[in-house]
Amino acid sequence: MTLQSFLEMGGYAAFVWPAWGLSLVALVVLTLVSWRWMRRAERLAAASSLKAPDADPSARPPSEPVA
């Protein structure tokens, strides 16, 4: 099998490559977006918990997270 025949996909290149390409792109984008969201949220939460000295130290922690 040559590179040429591989790329041509037996004449179906216009279908096979977009299908695989879109799958790759969509999943990569989803991963990156989720990763960045996670980093940003965790960074903000960590920063805020260091920065909240005026929170009442004797306040009860919530019995259950906001749900």
Partner 1 sequence: MNIWYYANPERFAGLARTLLPWTMGLALILASLATVWGLAIAPPDYQQGDAMRIIYVHVPAAWMAMFVYAVMAVSSALAFIWNHPLADVAAKASAPIGAVFTALALVTGMLWGQPMWGTWWVWDARLTSVLILFFLYLGYIVLWSAIEEPARAARAARILALVGAVNLPIIKFSVDWWNTLHQPATVFRMDGPTMAPEMLTPLLIMGLAYNLLYVAILFMRMRAEIAERRLRTIRLGLEPAGS
Nearest to 48 by CA among 37, 40, 36, 38: 40
**Cβ atoms < 10 Å from Cβ of 6:** 10
Residues 30-59 that bind partner 1 (CB under 8 A): 30-31, 34-35, 37-38, 40-42, 44-45, 48-57, 59
Q: How far is the CB of 66 from partner 1 (least distance, A)?
A: 5
Contact status, residue 9 vs residue 17, Cβ threshold 8 Å: yes
Footprint of partner 1 on this chain (CB under 8 A)?
1, 6, 9-12, 15-16, 18-20, 22-23, 26-27, 30-31, 34-35, 37-38, 40-42, 44-45, 48-57, 59-62, 64-67
